[in-house]
A and B are shown apart, each in its own frame.
Chain A
């Protein structure tokens, strides 16, 4: 069902910067806002980014995001061990009667 494509994995050492891409289409990312969620092992997902690049209260500024055309990206700077999690992009899709679509997910490993 995923129509947003992410790399399956990404990794870095503590302190490094890691970037995750999210590729969509004109009916989702190209037209609507992008969101990012992360999911720590064994827990519920948590909102990281809304409106393409805005952080909710409480989310550290180590997390940043951008969008260009039909693609988006999430960057984690100053990587920490607690950032090891699954990361998902998401967007509303206009072609499917208002369907909310998630990305395929990226597992971030802190080496």
Chain B
């Protein structure tokens, strides 16, 4: 079964760092880009950016460039999203999703989401 499994919920304080993960299985991890999507409480979907796990090339949304960092470890089929200094406004659900070239780069497989809560 093709799936993306994300790390568990996190509760952090403003200014702290955080890294969440997204592990792929059931497919060739390096053949598909991984996209990260944010959903703030009660709000819609926002694209943060994407990473090519084969070479760790990244493309960020201008809205998130410089505030988050995407990385990947292809040896363990895992992508990461990290923050060096969290803000309260980072409180949200974060999803990873697989981008599939033969479906015109649609996001066809999604992780279950990781809830990040930033509060003092």
Interface, chain A (partner B; CB < 8 A): 1-2, 33, 35, 37, 39, 44-47, 50-51, 54, 56, 86, 88, 90, 92, 96-105
A45 with B104: CB separation less than 8 A: no
Q: Name which residue of chain A comes closest to B64, CB basis.
A: A1
| A-side contacts of B44, CB under 8 Å | 2, 86, 88, 102-105
Tell me the bound Cα distance from A88 to B103 in angstroms: 17
> Is B62 within 8 A of A100, CB to CB?
no
CB distance from A4 to the nearest CB of B (A): 10
Q: How large is the interface on B (under 10, 10 to 19, 20 to 34, 35 or more residues)?
A: 20 to 34
A-B contact count (CB 8 A): 66
Query: Is B80 interfacial (CB-CB < 8 Å)?
Result: no
A-contacting 9-mer, from B8-16, B23-31, B81-89, B106-114: B106-114
A86 to B45, CA, bound (A): 11
In the complex the two chains form, is A99's CB within 8 Å of B47's CB? Answer: yes
Q: When A46-B110, A50-B106 are in contact, do A98 and B59 touch as well, CB less than 8 Å?
A: yes
The CA-CA distance from A33 to B103 in the complex, in Å, is 10
The 8 Å CB contact of A101, one of B35, B47, B103, is B47
Within 8 Å CB of A102, what residues of B?
A: 37, 44-47
Contact code string B58-102 (vs A, CB < 8 Å = 1, else 0):
010111000000000000000000000000000000010100000
Among residues of A, the one whose C-beta sits closest to the C-beta of B38 is A1
Q: Identify the interface centre among B44, B62, B104: most chain A CB within 10 Å of its CB.
A: B44
Question: Shortest beta-carbon distance, A45 to chain B, in Å?
Answer: 6
Q: Is the CB of B113 within 8 A of A99?
A: no
> 6 A-B residue contacts at CB 8 Å?
A33-B104, A35-B106, A45-B107, A47-B103, A56-B106, A99-B61
* Shortest Cβ distance from B93 into A: residue: A44
The CA-CA distance from A99 to B47 in the complex, in Å, is: 8
When chains A and B are docked, how far (Å) is the Cα of A51 from the Cα of B107?
12
**Contacts A1-B46, A44-B95, A44-B113; A92 near B61 (Cβ below 8 A):** no
